């Protein structure tokens, strides 16, 4: 692949990443505003924390007062905002690559911020799930309210990937510093 193709591909990836951010946030909001989209009888859509809380409760969620729906939307959006920040840094990284900045310290810093944001997303997802489960079931009779916590294989994979990304970013930052030193000697 020649550099101009790589630059175009990087620019496309930056655009796709921006699209992913928008779709992710809109889908989460749509599922709270129109819970029938999440039901198996509807489109069966689901996304992250919202999917885990709405999948079996779409009929009940459709009857929520506006403030409870808004609270569910806000609680489920907290982890997504951390992920959005990470995807924003990933987008900036692709934009740097599109402009030919392969060995810049700024590019390495962007990659490191992606890793940190993914780790924060996982942590916030873990913290917000019990809060959201209590929020969704607060109007249920006593004994039917839920307090859920979940740790899945995907959680550990995401944390592992976040750690790998952070380590690779640190390596790239060191490589960028060495590259800068070599450029000054030449």
- Name the token pair of 25: 């946030």
In this structure, are residues 40 and 121 in contact, taking their beta carbons and an 8 Å threshold?
no
- What's the pLDDT score for residue 144? 77
101's CB contacts (< 8 A; 6+ apart) are 107
Which residues span the domain enclosing 65? 3-185
Residue 115 and residue 85: Cα distance in Å, rounded?
11
Residue whose pair of structure tokens reads 């020649």 in the numeric block? 2
Question: Closest by alpha carbon to 79, among 123, 115, 31?
Answer: 123
In this structure, are residues 133 and 177 in contact, taking their beta carbons and an 8 Å threshold?
no
The region that residue 151 occupies, defined by phi over 0 for left and psi between -120 and 50 for alpha, beta otherwise, is beta
**What is the domain count for the chain?**
1
What string of DSSP letters covers 70-135? HHHHHHHHHHHHHHHHHHHHHHHHHHHHHTT-SS-HHHHHHHHHHHHHHHHHHHHHHHHHHHHHHH
- What is the pTM assigned to this prediction? 0.85
Tens-binned pLDDT, residue by residue, of the chain (186 aa): 556 888 999 999 999 999 999 999 999 998 888 887 766 666 666 666 677 777 677 677 778 899 998 998 999 999 999 999 999 999 999 999 999 888 888 999 999 999 999 999 999 999 999 999 889 888 888 887 778 888 888 889 999 999 999 999 999 999 888 877 777 765
71's CB contacts (< 8 A; 6+ apart) are 135
């Amino acid at each position: 692949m020649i550099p101009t193709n790589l630059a175009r591909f990087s620019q496309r990836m930056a655009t796709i990443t921006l699209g992913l951010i928008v779709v992710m946030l809109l889908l989460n909001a749509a599922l709270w505003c129109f819970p029938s989209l999440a039901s198996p009888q509807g489109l069966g859509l689901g996304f992250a924390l919202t999917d885990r809380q709405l999948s079996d409760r779409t009929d009940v969620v459709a009857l929520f007062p506006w403030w409870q729906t808004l609270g569910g939307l806000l609680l489920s959006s907290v982890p997504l905002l951390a992920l959005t920040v990470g995807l924003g840094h990933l987008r900036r990284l692709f934009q740097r690559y599109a402009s030919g900045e392969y060995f810049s310290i700024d590019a390495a810093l962007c990659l490191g911020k992606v890793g940190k944001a993914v780790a924060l997303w996982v942590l916030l997802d873990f913290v917000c799930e019990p809060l959201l489960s209590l929020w969704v079931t607060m109007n249920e009779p006593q004994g039917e309210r839920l307090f859920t916590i979940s740790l899945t294989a995907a959680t550990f994979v995401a944390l592992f990937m976040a750690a790998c990304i952070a380590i690779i970013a640190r390596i790239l930052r060191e490589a960028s510093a060495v590259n800068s030193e070599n450029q000054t000697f030449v």
